[in-house]
Structure 1
Amino acid sequence: MTTLTDARPLALDPDRLLPVEPGTREIARRLYAAVSELPIISPHGHVPPEWLADDTPFTDPTSLLVAPDHYVFRLLHAQGVSLTDLGVGGRPLTAEGSRRAWRLLAEHWTAFRGTPSRFWMDSVLADVFGVTERLSRESADRIFDRIADTIDAPHFRPRALMDRFGIEVLATTDDPVDDLHHHRTLREDAGFAPRVVPTFRPDRYLEPSRADFADLMTDLARASSIDTGSYQGYLAALEDRRRFFKANGAVSSDHSHADVVTLSLDEKEAARIYDAALRGVVSPTDATAFRRHMLVEMARMATEDGLVMTLHPGVHRSHHTPTLQRFGPDTGHDIPTTVEFTRGLQPLLDRFGTADGFQLILFTLDETVLSREIAPLAGFYPSVYAGAPWWFLDAPEAVRRFRGAVTETAGFYRTSGFIDDTRAFLSIPARHDMSRRLDSGYLAQLVAEHRLDEDEALETAVDLVTTIPRKAFKL
């Protein structure tokens, strides 16, 4: 394999990701210019709220750019790099360990060619840190030192970066029993303008097959001050916590299970399964039925409290057991699976698909369902929105395929707006910029083909980053 022995310039072309054909590119340039500097709305992500509440200084380049970004460290792991050497799983690195990890990234930088991670990291290095040379074995230490010197400055604290990045709304992902004190700290700070909202993520509390289900019910009872010893108490406790989240700024609940099959149990049957789960004797079949029933209950609660319901199923979590045991969950080995929406969601949509105020955003990692299921559902039900490409699909070609698959059936205005879905705080602007460039290119193609007038394309480009996510997430 040929390697570059000299440090090459890191040059970000202003036309990156825009169409190649000159006439179409000119249209795309005009559309992109209209949206490139608009504020960022990030209604689904995983940035820890304490970073902002405490304005926590960043400590080193690796813990900032590598260890929290599963896109980066999973591909390094595929190259044979140990996760231990990257500080993954909450394992702190020494100062020298951080530098070694950065060198490992640089040594394997060729592995990222053609990936969105390369696009995002180049953008972060150039736009955020002013790096002017390409990452390589030779430039690794120089770039590491530049980042280390930069993040030590007061203007590089998280709150200052929120302002610099133009992030107007940022959603976090939070456990139902969280007291949300970090969010209150931010909301009560008159000097902090961005809106940081929690998201109700109840997955663990809807899975009665978990070994710790009874302990979770104890935690839920403590947080809600409602006895969860009965099924009715359990429902009441969840309803209470949802209200608490909404009172503290939440606009949505977030759900990720193996599937989105839904069904409704009668109250007696649901209570029987719940009691068995508390005693640790629930059968797998009953546990699955209960979880599917509880998705319908979450929809029912959403019609009452107004939280938007987002579903993103079809992920085999923690695929590699030894890695899970050593490093914990969310350490790069979640793998997409196939999923079905049409039949699975019919019981839920029969009851609530046309209910006033109910909004349901469907995400998928299975591209085959976009044109076949999600777009037709969003093209009929007033409650359903097609969620933007996320996770493994938030890459240039997949984003283009999404627009082609969904727009012809559901249009632009039944989609969610871009979702960055990231823990990598510094990459948020790069991810949204990628989406804006790709959408500008797609709209420019429609103009070039005389399927849209340019004024319509311009209005749509702006709506895709402003009014569309605000409507989908009730912002």
Structure 2
Amino acid sequence: MPQLAPHPNRLLPADPGTRDIARRLYAEVSGLPIISPHGHVPPEWLAQDIPFSDPTTLLISPDHYVTRLMHSAGVDLAALGVGGSELDEAGKRAAWRLFCEHWPVYRGTAIRFWMEAELHDIFGVTERPSAETADAIYGQIAAALATPEFRPRALFERFGIEIIATTDDPCDDLHHHDALAADESFAGRVMPTFRPDRYLEPGREGWSELVDALGEAAGVDTGTYAGFREALATRRQYFKDHGAVSTDHSHADVVTLVLDDAEAHRLFARCRSGEANADEATALRRFLLVEMARMAVDDGLVMTLHPAVARNHSQASFNRFGADTGCDIPIAVEWTTGLQSLLAEVGLAPGFQVVLFTLDGDTFSREIAPLAGFYPSVFAGAPWWFLDAPDAIRRFQGAVSDIAGFSRMSGFIDDTRAFCSIPARHDLSRRLDCAFLAELVATHRLEEDEALDTARALVATNPRKAFKL
């Protein structure tokens, strides 16, 4: 059977001399702790430390990177357990066989790199996935998951995770985070993240009911704009008191708008009553992003922005499986004029910080790097979600370092629901960082000691600075 044996020099330069430099750099950073300030791993996995049930539920069903490519090859997402689709043991094994049979569709993708590392480095799999090896690999992983060494907390420690953030609804009581913070046997840091998108989009269905729920959670009457704003500020402080360091925002664009107090109250009242038209709802949403930035000046939470995605592009798939199941598609975004109102308000305010992520790689050099290269508050977010792949990361490295240097980069962000992919994703980034820095050393643009200092900063210093850790 063909072997699964990830090469130790993968992603490092082909030129032997440059590769040797990269290997020296990588040896110094490969074992550093993982800092993951934005992700989607459920906090209850760590709070309850419940054993993972099976390979499919852990490695396939929650990873939309994996499932979307099988869907493109004709596999029904329901057969993969996506979106809560119920699979019995036979169904889970069948889903795993489908994954192994479709192993060739991942050739050349970052997914292939991650999955090879997960299978080989975590579970000791040495045979390449295929129709012939599927059952044996499933059995090997299932047997491992039945042992204490593969429970969530044990893997957390084994992966070398120091800090990890979850993504949470503003109304969440954060009781899983409370349990982790109170548990002296757990040494890691698990932080909530305030994600208010749906409360800031007055044009969405059910928005008024969401505003009611926010008011209930905050203990504030949200019948007026003043009450709504107070409720948002109250819940932000609640999250900060429970360890949050950032807020997360993803809308159709990053156009921002400043309104006077009277107009904000008027638009809120019209949206609350259901009388607002689409333009009025959009205007309020764009103003609310500025309000979030103003609150960030007050409470110190870091803003992260990641617009430019057409959510639920396949309506039929959304109807069957729900959100976050692989059918979001990138769109173009404009940053420079869009963010001007927000940055005019708070871009130079002491303590304000914002990290700009994008799915539109064309904006790295044209807009994001120049913004990060001027505003002390702006950081260039690492490539993620469609762009967290070798070629896109290389483009980011060149585009941003040329204009803003390395100090304005956020450090790698894994942004994943797939727990076991976290070390593989960070390893991919560290290898690519070392490869890029080695090229700068080989072409005499950096000394090797400077490259090493930069490699360490990208892993350990930059994310702490960007997210105020």
TM-score by length of 1: 0.98
Which residue of the other structure, out of 387, 396, 400, is the alignment partner of 2:390?
396
Paired residue for 2:453? 459
Stretches of structure 2 lacking an aligned partner (at least 5 in a row): none
Paired residue for 1:203? 197
Report SS of the residue matched to 2:312. Answer: coil
Within 1, Cα distance between the matches of 2:205 and 2:451? 52
Q: How does 1:181-196 map to 2 (within 5 A)?
A: 181-196=175-190
Q: Which runs of 4+ in 1 moved over 2 A?
A: none
Stretches of structure 1 lacking an aligned partner (at least 5 in a row): 1-6
Q: 1:266 Cα shift?
A: 1.3
Paired residue for 1:357? 351
AA in 1 matched with 2:234: D
Which residue of the other structure, out of 267, 271, 274, is the alignment partner of 2:265?
271
Paired residue for 1:4? none
Report SS of the residue matched to 1:200. Answer: coil
Q: 1:373 Cα shift?
A: 0.4
Report SS of the residue matched to 1:361. Answer: strand
Within 2, Cα distance between the matches of 1:273 and 1:98? 50
Paired residue for 2:25? 31
TM-score by length of 2: 0.99
Report SS of the residue matched to 1:391. Answer: coil
Contact 1:211 1:280 in 2 (8 A): no
Q: 1:221 Cα shift?
A: 0.9
Within 2, Cα distance between the matches of 1:293 and 1:240? 19
Within 1, Cα distance between the matches of 2:304 and 2:215? 25
Q: How does 1:324-339 map to 2 (within 5 A)?
A: 324-339=318-333
Q: How does 1:69-84 map to 2 (within 5 A)?
A: 69-84=63-78
Note the aligned Cα RMSD (angstroms): 0.6
Paired residue for 2:466? 472
Paired residue for 1:241? 235
Within 2, Cα distance between the matches of 1:228 and 1:433? 46
Which residue of the other structure, out of 334, 340, 343, is the alignment partner of 1:346?
340
Which residue of the other structure, out of 47, 54, 57, is the alignment partner of 2:51?
57
Report SS of the residue matched to 2:83. Answer: coil
Which residue of the other structure, out of 357, 363, 388, is the alignment partner of 1:369?
363
Within 1, Cα distance between the matches of 2:460 and 2:343? 27
Q: 1:92 Cα shift?
A: 2.3
Which residue of the other structure, out of 401, 405, 421, is the alignment partner of 1:407?
401
Paired residue for 1:105? 99
Report SS of the residue matched to 1:466. Answer: helix
Report SS of the residue matched to 2:5. Answer: coil
Q: 1:217 Cα shift?
A: 1.0
Q: 1:281 Cα shift?
A: 2.2
Q: 1:113-135 deviations in whole A, cap 9, x for unaligned?
A: 00011110000000000001111
Within 2, Cα distance between the matches of 1:401 and 1:134? 31
Within 1, Cα distance between the matches of 2:344 and 2:273? 33
Paired residue for 1:310? 304
Q: 1:343 Cα shift?
A: 0.3
Within 1, Cα distance between the matches of 2:280 and 2:117? 48
Within 2, Cα distance between the matches of 1:83 and 1:160? 30
Q: 1:242 Cα shift?
A: 0.3
Q: How many residues align?
A: 469
Which residue of the other structure, out of 136, 145, 150, is the alignment partner of 1:151?
145
Contact 1:317 1:333 in 2 (8 A): yes
Q: Are 1:256 and 2:254 matched, yes or no?
A: no
Kindly, what percent of the aligned residue pairs are identical? 65
Within 2, Cα distance between the matches of 1:394 and 1:377? 21
Within 2, Cα distance between the matches of 1:334 and 1:410? 30
Report SS of the residue matched to 1:41. Answer: strand
